[in-house]
Structure 1
């Protein structure tokens, strides 16, 4: 497949902040769907980071438990070294689970995805984004959503999906696995529940991609980084699959922190992610080449798209 070319170096807020970093970009992981939870409220203070508590990071179940546990170990060592506290990892059950933890206060930090971030804000979570990964294939803190079909499929355009096709999305809370492709389909007046024979939510990008591999569906919504990782595993290869559609640039999933956390701890969390050394694998689908600072306004385009899509869905249902 033809990969998207790096974006022009214009004075975009993302790029300005990348240039201000004093820490060189390094190849690091993308932590999907995690939460940093204060578990021991009786612990004594640590003046270097503001708190000395056990941190629990929740991770979306994107791969087998054995594989994720293997990849977690070097990451765990790095985070504990920088934060100077014990870090535990728990595999989350779903996108919704991560949002629920932010809303009810069990989590004080999370890597959730842009749509889940907006859902958490709508439900009252007092959080803000601090960093996001730089995509390996674009060299920017952006990536692309996509729709994939089998290489020998008769589906040549998005319009060909209408009428009897089976399509899988990741989750209603997924930015690249639902929001972006849904918006593109609705621009063509294609409505999944009306125009597709079957709509499936795989739950994760890996499980969704497996549905196409196994012939369960005719097309899937995912993203380019996840698709490329699948190719590296010898699954969805250029010989047996192809990209039907790619989105415009999508801002990468933000690492969120509670605004109630001490500023010193927030800075330590930033440092931990910005200094992950080369060689530590990402533990979900995305291949990252560093982290950069982000702010709330970077996700305004996704917010506007989501509001517009919700309004269109109401109009179609009425």
Structure 2
């Protein structure tokens, strides 16, 4: 088991070292549907005003979770704030999978969203997503760790013990749920899915955790922030699963907008994130369990550099057309 004591911020050099990857930035790989004249690796807003979108109702989606209804309540106060800031009705869209969220963005049915860490590059390159914020602690630190977990009594005490067993991932676009553990297992342990262990896909971190607790899976790769919140809500209990590996810190869910929103509206949405008062809200109650207390600004180019590096290590390409 690898135990690391690092600040709760992204330390890309340490992450790259841990995964034995070369710390180089991947170049932008935007779909031909988009242009990036300013070189910031995300789609520019259209210069033709006729292509701007200014809907009466804004559709917001949070990265898929085991029970979307729970998060409709969690986000309700923030969405009221967003409505007031923009003068628009705001609808919560309870997506059931990462693929559904990506397709909704690409099809123009999604205007504001929080995409999971590994899904951000897909959303940027294939859906024109423009991320601008993540959640952070009061001191500005942010992020989460990837953990590999198992159930008590499974006989799995170390990563090497995964050989011949079944391990659950979330989806192929997930950073902590697939790409980071795949890079780790390959580079540090010489283990490949389908050869050294059986891979399963649960669809979400919640499902992976519940699957391990219920012994449907021998082990799973998860984002520990999800596990922390599930324990705080009483969905699972301390001791229901054991941790055999903890990674360095990665950036968490990125929040942003579709590239073709009317620029004035996009600016209002961004301002709403940074002006939101968390105190006493359902958002504070839920995300305080994993240490978050505010939204802070980020850029895809800088803050997702290590995630692009991990994607490169897994041979990820973006065939969006």
TM range (shorter): 0.7 to 0.9
**2:262 match:** 262
Contact (CA 8 Å) 2:64, 2:98: kept in 1 or not?
A: no
Change (3 A) 1:307 1:242: same
**1:20 match:** none
Residues 1:96 and 2:99 aligned together: yes
Change (3 A) 1:215 1:69: same
Residues 1:300 and 2:305 aligned together: yes
**1:167 match:** 167
SS of equivalent residue, structure 2 residue 282: coil
**2:294 match:** 290
TM-score by length of 2: 0.74
SS of equivalent residue, structure 1 residue 131: strand
Which shows bigger deviation, 139-148 or 276-285? 276-285
Contact (CA 8 Å) 1:135, 1:143: kept in 2 or not?
A: no
1:227-249 deviation line (CA, Å, top 9, x unaligned): 11122234543433221111111
Tell me by how many angstroms 1:273 deviates: 1.5
- Structure 2 residues not aligned, in runs of 5+: 14-51, 317-321
Partners of 1:114 and 1:9 lie apart in 2 by 13
> Structure 1 stretches (4+) deviating beyond 6 angstroms?
none
1:96-146 deviation line (CA, Å, top 9, x unaligned): 1121223233334332123222123443x333211111158x952321111
Partners of 1:280 and 1:146 lie apart in 2 by 29
TM-score by length of 1: 0.74
Partners of 1:216 and 1:248 lie apart in 2 by 27
Aligned CA RMSD, in angstroms, stands at 3.1
Contact (CA 8 Å) 2:9, 2:250: kept in 1 or not?
A: no
Contact (CA 8 Å) 2:8, 2:142: kept in 1 or not?
A: no
1:41-190 to structure 2, matched below 5 A, reads 51=54, 53-123=56-126, 125-134=127-136, 140-163=141-164, 165-187=165-187, 188-190=189-191
Tell me by how many angstroms 1:286 deviates: 5.7
Change (3 A) 1:126 1:248: same
Partners of 1:60 and 1:112 lie apart in 2 by 5
Partners of 1:71 and 1:305 lie apart in 2 by 31
Partners of 1:94 and 1:281 lie apart in 2 by 23
Partners of 2:242 and 2:224 lie apart in 1 by 11
Contact (CA 8 Å) 1:229, 1:287: kept in 2 or not?
A: no
SS of equivalent residue, structure 1 residue 186: helix
SS of equivalent residue, structure 1 residue 195: coil
Partners of 1:212 and 1:189 lie apart in 2 by 24
1:223-302 to structure 2, matched below 5 A, reads 223-276=223-276, 277-282=278-283, 288-297=292-301, 298-302=303-307
Contact (CA 8 Å) 2:59, 2:109: kept in 1 or not?
A: no
Tell me by how many angstroms 1:295 deviates: 0.7
SS of equivalent residue, structure 2 residue 304: helix
Partners of 1:105 and 1:266 lie apart in 2 by 15
- Structure 1 residues not aligned, in runs of 5+: 13-44, 312-318
